A and B are shown apart, each in its own frame.
Chain A
C-alpha cells in the first residue's frame, strides 16, 4: 500500500523525520541517525549516533566540532538504501558540500528536501541541480518579492570601488565563517583585487579547508595588527579585512583606524537592517535563493505539493495560492534567521 507523503516525512520535536527510513534530516537535537544537508551550525549539530552527509560536510563538521562529533559517519555517494527508502544527495549551490536530499520511498511520492540552496553560480561550491520530485520541501529565507539579489559581481565591484575611493580606510567585511567569507574573497579576486586579504582568526580553519579542496582564495594573512599601527596606507597591511559579523561588536574592531564597516548578506537589501548594525557599505551577497529563484524553482520542478520549512513562509504561501500550487508550512523552528 502506498504511503501518504505526510506519513513518510513529518516534523517532530527533534526535527524533520522520515518514518520508513527511521532517520532525521538536519535534526535539532541528538538522534540515532541524521542526514545533514550542509555544515552550517543550525543544520549540522554534534552528538548524533550516525551521520550521513557529503564528504565535505562531514569534514566541515569534524573541523567545527572535532572528530568525535558523531559515533559513526557515512559519506553520501550515489543512491543509498535506508530502511524502506532510497536516498540520494544532490548539489544545493549554498556552501561547500551543501546538498539537497531526495527521499524515494519504496511505495510513495518522491520527496526532495532542498536544505538551504542558491541558484546563482558560486565559485566556492558546486552548482545547484534541479531534482524532479513530487513533494518539494523548501526553505523560504527570502520568501518575499522584495528580495531580488543583484549580481554578486556587481556587489564585489562596489566593494572594490569603495576601497579605491577611500584608500586610507580599511574595509571590514562581516561574513559568516562557512561559505560567505570564502565567497566574498573569491568575488573580490574575480573583481581584480590581488593584494593579500586579512582574515579574522575565526575564519582561518575554514578558509584553509577551502584551499585544501582546491578553491583558490589567493594570499590570506591574519588580521592581527596591533591597535597602535596607524593607517594601512602607510604600512603594507591589508586594506580588505574579513571577519564574522559578531566581531564588529567586540573590541577587536578597535585595532582598525576609521574602518568602513561592510556586511555581506541578503538582508542588506533592506536599509533598516543595515542601519541597525551601523553598516556603512551594505553588500547584498546571499547564499540563499531570492524570490525570483525560489518561485522559478517551484515552477520548474512543478511538484504536486510545496512544504515550507522556515523563513518568510507567509509570502511564499500567498504566491503558491495565486499560482495554484498546493502548499503548507511546516513551521520548523531552530533554523536561524541568518546563518547567511
Chain B
C-alpha cells in the first residue's frame, strides 16, 4: 500500500504529462503483482468497489477522535478523507515516527472492501486504518470513496503501461475490454507471454488524422484522395459482433450506456467507424446538445426523445467476421456502401466531389450546415492503421474564430514555462466591465515568455495566492474552435480550444471586443 500511496501523492501534485508518465511507468515496473494490477484498475476506473459515503466516514472518525478537535481539524484541512487520514490516532507512542503500515497490500485492501457486507464495512475500514500510515490511509479512503482525483486518464495510464515494453498503447487498447482486475494476463503478455484473447466485440484502435495547410496540400495529387465533411460530434466505433453490441469512444472507453438508442440501432454484424451526433430528422444539432447526452449512466425517455442520437459513418473495420482493415480505403468505402446498414439512426457521411484543391477549399469555406468543422482528406490506397500516421489522413479545419480580449489574470506555468507568468485568463467588455471568457497559456519562444512575464510583474494590481490580477491593459487575439452556451460561466458561454494567437501590444484595451459580439457568434 505504501508504494500505491506514494504513487497517488506524486500524481496529484505533478502537473506535467511526461512526468506523470515517468512516475506511472516506474510504478508499474517496480511493483509486484497483483498490487500493480489493482492500482491499474483504480486508475482506469475499472475497480468496482462498494462505495463508502461521507457520513459513514464521519461516524468512523467521531468514534475515535474528540468531536471538537475533529471539527477544528476539518476546518483547517478542508477535505474529509484527508482529515481522517491525518487525524486517525496512530498506535505508536509519539506518532512522529508514524511509519507503521505493517504490510497491508493494495490487493488485501481491495479484497477486504469487496468481500465485506454493507453492515460490517465501516468496522473493516477502521481496522485497516489502524494498520496504515497517514499517506496509506488517504490512499485507502480514496479507494473506498471511489474518488482518486489524481488527474490521470485511463489512456495516459495505459500509455505508461506500454512504456518500456515491446507493445504500443493501441495494442493494449485492442485487448483491454477482455481483461479485468488484477490484469495478470496483461502483465504476463507485456513481459513476453502469450497475448490475451480480446473479448467479443472488442475495440480496435482508431486511425487518426494530422492537420494540414494549403501549402502542404499543393504538391499532392487530388486524384489520390477522397474528401468528406468533418462533423462536429464525437468520433466513435460501433461494434456488433457475435450478438454483443458496444459503442466505444476513440480512446476505447465504453459509452454505450449513455446511448441505448444507438445500441438498439446496431442490428448489423461488424465494426464501423463514424461520428456520434444528435440529429432531429435530417437536422444535425449543435455540439452542446450532444454534450447533454454524454457521461450518463442512464438516459431518461424524455432526453432520448428530445436529444435523439445518430451515427454518421466514415469507415468499416470488420464485416461478418472478416477483417477489412488491411484493404485500401477505396475498397473499404465500397464495402461500407454495399453493407446496406439500414436504420433511421445510422447513415453514411457523403463523399465530397472535387477536382482540385481549390474546389475543395471552396466547399470548406461554405459548408452547408454549421455543424461542420472542416474537411477530412484521406488517401484512397491507405489501409486502416492504428494511431496517427502522418500522410494517409489529413484534417483541414475551418479557420478558427477570433476575438480580441483583454488579459485579466495570470498564473505561472509548468515545465518550460515554469516560473514565468504564462497561464492567462482573458475577458471581454460587458458595458464598463470586463467579463472573463476563457483561459489559455501563451509563450512559445523564450522571448515571448520573458516579455509577458515582465508585463505581468509590472502590472499586477492584486494577488490571490499564486494568481495575479492584472491592470486591464494588454489585448490579445484569441483563436478558438467554437462556442457552447454554459450556465456555469459568468459570461454564459464557453470557448472550445481557446488559444492566444498573438499579442496586440498596439491595441488599446478599450478597443477590445465586446461580450455581445462573442454571443453573436454562437
Contacts and interface: CB of A to CB of B under 8 A. Distances in A.
Interface string B404-441: 00000000100110111000000000000000000000
A149 B466 CA distance: 26
B101 to A, nearest CB: 11
A319 B258 CA distance: 52
A144 B76 contact: yes
Contacts of A252: 419
Contacts of B415: 258
B86 A146 contact: yes
A270 interface: yes
Contacts of B99: 150-151, 154
B26 interface: yes
Interface string B4-21: 001000101111100100
B453 A251 contact: yes
A270 B75 CA distance: 12
B291 interface: no
Interface in B217-270: none
A109 B95 CA distance: 32
A322 B65 CA distance: 12
A3 interface: no
B73 A145 contact: yes
Contacts of A169: 19
B69 A318 contact: yes
Interface in A237-295: 248, 251-254, 256-259, 261, 269-272, 274-282, 290-293
Contacts of A261: 418
Contact of B412 (A119, A151, A278): A278
Contacts of A150: 96-99, 134
Nearest to A315: B72
Nearest to A169: B19
Interface in A130-151: 144-151
Interface residues of B, number: 46
Contacts of A280: 13-15
A146 B98 contact: no
A236 interface: no
B418 A256 contact: yes
A271 B82 contact: yes
B386 interface: no
Contacts of A254: 418-420, 449-450, 453
A282 B99 CA distance: 17
B90 interface: yes
Contact of A148 (B69, B77, B86, B419): B86
Which of A148, A151, A254, A291 has most chain B Cβ within 10 Å? A148
B157 interface: no
A271 B5 CA distance: 14
B19 A253 contact: no
Contacts of A272: 77-79
Which of A145, A151, A252, A322 has most chain B Cβ within 10 Å? A145
Given A258-B16, A282-B13, A293 B72 contact: no
A315 B71 CA distance: 10
A271 B10 CA distance: 11
A206 interface: no
Contacts of A281: 10, 13
A147 to B, nearest CB: 8
B358 interface: no
Contacts of A146: 73, 76-77, 83, 86-87
Contacts of A259: 418-419
A148 B79 contact: no
A304 B10 CA distance: 45
B96 A149 contact: yes
A279 B82 CA distance: 18
Given A146-B83, A254-B453, A291-B95, A312 B418 contact: no
A125 to B, nearest CB: 17
Contacts of B95: 148, 290-292
B68 A318 contact: yes
Interface residues of A, number: 50
A257 B73 contact: no
A148 B418 contact: no
A216 B414 CA distance: 34
Contacts of B362: none
Contact of B69 (A144, A151, A158, A275): A144
B83 to A, nearest CB: 7
Interface string A144-169: 11111111001000100010011001
B320 to A, nearest CB: 50
B360 interface: no
A120 interface: yes
B419 A277 contact: no
A151 B16 contact: no
Contact of A277 (B22, B453, B466): B466
B153 to A, nearest CB: 19
Contact of A312 (B72, B83, B420): B72
B79 A318 contact: no
A120 B13 CA distance: 27
B457 interface: yes
B23 interface: yes
A292 B14 CA distance: 30
A271 B79 contact: yes
B13 A279 contact: yes
Given A151-B99, A277-B466, A278-B466, A270 B418 contact: no
Q: Which 10 A-B pairs have the closest CB atoms?
A: A253-B419, A292-B95, A146-B86, A254-B419, A148-B95, A146-B73, A292-B94, A276-B465, A258-B415, A144-B73
16 contacts: A120-B96, A149-B96, A150-B98, A154-B99, A166-B19, A166-B22, A254-B453, A257-B418, A258-B418, A261-B418, A270-B86, A276-B465, A277-B465, A278-B466, A280-B13, A314-B72
Interface of B: 6, 10, 12-16, 19, 22-23, 26, 65-66, 68-69, 72-73, 76-79, 82-83, 86-87, 89-90, 94-99, 134, 412, 415-416, 418-420, 449-450, 453, 457, 465-466
Given A149-B96, A151-B96, 6 more contacts: A119-B96, A251-B453, A254-B450, A256-B418, A271-B77, A272-B78
